[in-house]
Amino acid sequence: MHPFALHPQLLADCHLLGQLPHSHLLLHRNAQVPWFILVPETELGNLLDLPTPQRDGVLTDCKRISDYLTAGLACPRVNVAWIGNLVPQLHVHVIGRGPGDPCWPRPVWGNLAESRDYGAEEVDAIRAALLGST
């Protein structure tokens, strides 16, 4: 078994926020929509293949992010997906959506024409809201 490492593409595309109880938490760099990525420590590529306790733990982490998106950021919709077509490492996208976002109602993939990176203060505030002060 190899030591766990986040896929380089995830690290290039995201800010690493820290660790939730069952997954590493990343924030996609494009701030046009609130887009989080959770990465459990596993060599398996499919969420549904995880042992039940680990899968349930990852879904609990997803719920934590969903609650932040709906209650904290007032996103009316939350999209959750684990696709893995380009990045083979299991990762779960949790994305806040709503009629005001730049690609609504289309999927975010391939439809975010503009890009804006988060400022350091924004990243720190999101990290604190989800993980507490570090």
pLDDT digits (tens, 9 = 90+) for 15-27: 999 999 999 999 9
Residue 1's pLDDT is 57
Q: In what order do the strands lie in the sheet with 35-39?
A: 14-19, 24-28, 35-39, 92-97, 77-81
Residue 85's pLDDT is 87
Q: What are the phi and psi torsion angles at 70 (to 5°)?
A: -80, -45
Q: Do residues 111 and 104 make contact, with C-beta atoms less than 8 angstroms apart?
A: no
Single-letter code of the amino acid located at 9: Q
Residue 115 has pLDDT above 50, yes or no: yes
Q: Where are the domains of the chain?
A: 8-131
What's the length of the chain?
134
H-only helix segments in 33-90: 52-67
pLDDT in tens, 59-110: 999 999 999 999 999 999 999 999 888 999 999 999 999 999 999 999 999 9
Residue 133 has pLDDT above 80, yes or no: no
The topology under which CATH files domain 8-131 is HIT family, subunit A (3.30.428)
